[in-house]
């Protein structure tokens, strides 16, 4: 583990290096830091292998934050109850007009579209972080067979709710936006809605399963 | 109260405050005024909290007609400001009466001006901030840039006219140079670059390109900066100021509307005291980076924070308003 300064008002904890990092470790440290966080910490952002901690440097020096983080991380484990994860089922209409990249992807991966749908919807995913757009989840747990590089030319308009894959991740576009991931389906769920008390449907640490829908 | 109506919106005018904290883990960026110092001073000049909502005006400015007596101040990029055709100064409180038309021209130097009105702009607070986030279509006025016909509402301010007569000392005002020296802290992915390559980054003269917006300022240098690792690494947190090296070898300095995490290697990070220089730079500005440390960066920030709150008494308060039917006699209080 290594802590580095990100500019003058954030620090990043890196879980190094190159080795396999149990995502539960990042997740547990994230929960630990998030619990009873002092008000000079403004944001805590988990990624796959690191955690960003943003603070108000009007109130505190970087050395003090550094010390605080290391002492918090040394604390005893949290009670198991704290790790209770939120499980979310996401209905998806695969293929057709909702998954325009599915046929091409089938060719690229050398398997029929039905197989891609089956593999994609049988895996259990974990929200590693939310980024790119408000509410866009990076979901880890994509079976290796579906790992594929991004599209060479990004689409200019990816509709809201599009379920897509790229690299080792699957994700869901919260708004219509440009995007370079392969679109395989669409969910009617709203990933981001300011009218809800919690605008984002998913948050880091949540578990996600995709439910294929057929009745359309 | 309704303070003014927008006649012309300008090129890109948005409502901004000091930004939206606490939502980055949901992919929601900081947003907020990119030149936080000019925003702060504009607020101080009209007696607002330093983080009250203002208009951030990029390049060509707006035109608006005032409907009530207001005290306003314009700071930031050097532009011609007129009130009903009469030139009025920047960096001091100005009185605008009903019927007065305030116009901001295109900046001669710098790219972003800030207009504060006493009381602060009154738009709904979304997730703790009034800042506009254009990509997410929320914050500010309906999540979008200003348009013709928009009403500028302000929060009530008691004794607003007492704020008149404040001026920001000339010696502290920002200078917008063609060559800027920007302090940076070594980046969290600096180990993705050889020491030689990092030196090359500090020795290279970069130029601001026109492909720059509130998300990032894209630069080009004579020599490309090469990282040791493939273009996209594991995602890492970013801040406004993070300098990512793109696969092309060109740097991009992330700004306030950039997402919370990014996959390109971060070679360095602009200090929060100096980020305004990048935010104000127009295409063609030459940029040099100089390495500093976190401790120095923080003391520079604190120095700047104090400096941008200092005002001096204007020896003579002039009324620029032509149309107000009232005649004010104002006693200036110290």
> What pLDDT is stored for residue B327 in this prediction?
42
Residues of B in contact with A138 (CB under 8 A): 235
Nearest CB to B237: which of A45, A136, A177? A45
Asked if A136 is an interface residue toward chain B (Cβ–Cβ < 8 A), one would say yes
> What is the full per-residue pLDDT of chain A (216 aa) written as tens digits?
899 999 999 999 998 755 566 667 888 889 889 888 899 999 999 988 899 999 998 889 999 999 999 999 888 766 666 666 789 999 999 999 999 999 999 999 999 999 999 999 999 999 988 988 899 999 999 999 999 988 888 888 999 999 999 988 999 999 898 888 999 999 999 999 999 998 999 998 899 999 999 855
Q: Do B235 and A138 touch (CB under 8 A)?
A: yes
Asked if A18 is an interface residue toward chain B (Cβ–Cβ < 8 A), one would say no
Give the best-scoring range by mean pLDDT among A81-85, B268-272, B314-318. Answer: B268-272
Asked if B41 is an interface residue toward chain A (Cβ–Cβ < 8 A), one would say no
Residues of B in contact with A61 (CB under 8 A): 295, 298
User: Which has more confidence, B234 or B114?
Assistant: B114
- Say if CB A90 and CB A209 are below 8 A apart: yes
Dump pLDDT digits (tens) for B25-64: 999 999 999 999 999 999 999 999 999 999 999 999 999 9
d(CA A50, CA B238): 12
Asked if A135 is an interface residue toward chain B (Cβ–Cβ < 8 A), one would say yes
In order of their start, the domains of chain A are 2-73 (3.30.1360.40), 87-212 (2.40.100.10)
Nearest CB to B138: which of A43, A44, A194? A194
Sorted by sequence, the CB contacts under 8 Å of residue A66 that are 6+ apart come out as A3, A11
Question: Counting beta carbons within 10 angstroms of the beta carbon of residue A11, is it exposed (0 to 12), middle (13 to 18) or buried (19 or more)?
Answer: buried
Does the pLDDT value for residue B190 go beyond 60?
yes
d(CA B35, CA B16): 10
Sorted by sequence, the CB contacts under 8 Å of residue A137 that are 6+ apart come out as A127, A129, A130, A171, A172, A191, A202, A206, A208
Residue A13, strand partner residues: A3, A51
Best of A1, A3, A7, A27 to disrupt the B interface (most B CBs within 10 Å) is: A7
- Say if CB A205 and CB A181 are below 8 A apart: no
Nearest CB to A45: which of B138, B261, B269? B261
Does the pLDDT value for residue B330 go beyond 50?
no
Q: Do A6 and B138 touch (CB under 8 A)?
A: no
Does the pLDDT value for residue B303 go beyond 80?
yes
What is the pTM for the complete model shown? 0.91
Percent of chain B with pLDDT over 90: 80
Does the pLDDT value for residue B233 go beyond 90?
no
Residues of A in contact with B295 (CB under 8 A): 61-62
- Say if CB B52 and CB B117 are below 8 A apart: no
Which of A:187-216 have CB within 8 Å of B? 192, 194, 199-200, 203-204
> What pLDDT is stored for residue A57 in this prediction?
84
Nearest CB to A6: which of B26, B237, B273? B237
- Say if CB B227 and CB B265 are below 8 A apart: yes
> What pLDDT is stored for residue B230 in this prediction?
64
Nearest CB to A10: which of B138, B239, B273? B239
Does the pLDDT value for residue B326 go beyond 60?
no
Sorted by sequence, the CB contacts under 8 Å of residue B244 that are 6+ apart come out as B238, B251, B252, B254, B262, B264, B265, B266, B267
> What pLDDT is stored for residue B107 in this prediction?
96
ipTM topping 0.90: yes
Q: Do B294 and A62 touch (CB under 8 A)?
A: yes
> What pLDDT is stored for residue B292 in this prediction?
98
Best of B21, B25, B216, B266 to disrupt the A interface (most A CBs within 10 Å) is: B25
The helices-and-strands tally (H runs, E runs) of chain B is: 4, 22
Backbone dihedral angles phi then psi of residue B211, each to the nearest 5 degrees:
-80, 65
Closest approach of B261 to chain A, Cα-based (Å): 6
d(CA B158, CA B177): 39
Closest approach of B87 to chain A, Cα-based (Å): 38
Asked if A159 is an interface residue toward chain B (Cβ–Cβ < 8 A), one would say no
Angle between helices A102-109 and A113-122 (to 10 degrees): 90
Asked if A44 is an interface residue toward chain B (Cβ–Cβ < 8 A), one would say yes
Does the pLDDT value for residue B324 go beyond 60?
no
């Amino acid at each position: 583990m290594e802590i580095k300064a990100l500019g003058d008002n954030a620090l990043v904890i890196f879980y190094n290096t190159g080795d396999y990092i149990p995502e539960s470790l990042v997740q547990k440290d994230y929960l630990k830091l998030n619990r009873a966080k002092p008000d000079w910490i403004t944001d805590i952002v988990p990624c796959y292998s690191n955690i960003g901690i943003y603070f108000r440097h009007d109130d505190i020096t970087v050395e003090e934050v550094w010390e605080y983080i290391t002492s918090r991380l040394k604390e005893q484990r949290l009670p198991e109850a704290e790790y209770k994860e939120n499980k979310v089922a996401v209905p998806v209409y695969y293929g057709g007009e909702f998954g325009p990249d599915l046929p091409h992807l089938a060719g690229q991966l050398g398997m029929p579209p039905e197989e891609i749908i089956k593999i994609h919807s049988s895996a259990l995913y974990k929200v590693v972080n939310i980024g790119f757009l408000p509410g866009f989840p990076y979901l880890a747990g994509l079976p290796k067979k579906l790992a594929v590089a991004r599209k060479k030319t990004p689409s200019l308009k990816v509709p809201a709710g599009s379920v897509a894959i790229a690299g080792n991740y699957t994700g869901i576009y919260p708004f219509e936006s440009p995007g370079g991931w392969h679109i395989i389906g669409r969910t009617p769920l709203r990933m981001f809605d300011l009218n809800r008390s919690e605008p984002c449907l998913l948050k880091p640490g949540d578990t996600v399963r995709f439910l294929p829908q057929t009745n359309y | 109260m309704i303070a003014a109506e927008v006649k012309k919106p300008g090129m890109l005018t948005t409502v901004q405050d000091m930004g939206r904290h606490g939502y980055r883990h949901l992919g929601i960026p900081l947003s907020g005024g990119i030149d936080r110092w000019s925003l702060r001073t504009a607020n101080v000049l009209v007696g607002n909290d330093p983080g009250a909502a203002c208009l951030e005006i990029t390049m060509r400015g707006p035109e608006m007609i005032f409907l009530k007596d207001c005290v306003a101040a314009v700071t930031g990029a050097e532009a011609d400001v007129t009130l009903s055709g009469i030139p009025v100064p920047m960096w001091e409180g100005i009185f605008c009466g009903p019927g007065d038309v305030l116009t901001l021209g295109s900046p001669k130097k710098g790219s972003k001006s800030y207009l504060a009105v006493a009381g602060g702009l009154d738009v709904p607070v979304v997730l703790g901030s009034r800042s506009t986030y254009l990509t997410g279509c929320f914050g500010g006025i309906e999540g979008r840039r200003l348009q013709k016909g928009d009403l500028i509402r302000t929060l009530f301010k008691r004794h607003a006219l007492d704020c008149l007569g404040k001026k920001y000392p000339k010696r502290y005002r920002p200078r917008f140079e063609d060559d800027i020296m920007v302090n940076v802290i070594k980046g969290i992915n600096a180990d993705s670059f050889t020491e030689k390559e990092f030196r090359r980054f500090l020795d290279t003269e970069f130029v601001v390109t026109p492909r720059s917006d509130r998300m990032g300022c894209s630069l080009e240098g004579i020599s490309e900066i090469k990282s040791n690792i493939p273009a996209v690494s594991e995602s890492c947190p970013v801040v406004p100021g993070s300098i990512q090296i793109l696969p092309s070898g060109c740097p991009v300095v992330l700004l306030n509307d950039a997402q919370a995490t990014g996959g390109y290697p971060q070679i360095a990070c602009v200090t929060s005291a100096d980020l305004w220089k990048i935010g104000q730079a127009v295409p063609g500005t030459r940029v040099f980076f100089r390495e500093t440390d976190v401790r120095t960066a923080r003391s520079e920030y604190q120095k700047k924070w104090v400096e941008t709150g200092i005002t001096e008494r204007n020896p003579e308060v002039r009324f620029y308003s032509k149309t107000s039917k009232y005649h004010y006699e104002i006693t200036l209080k110290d």
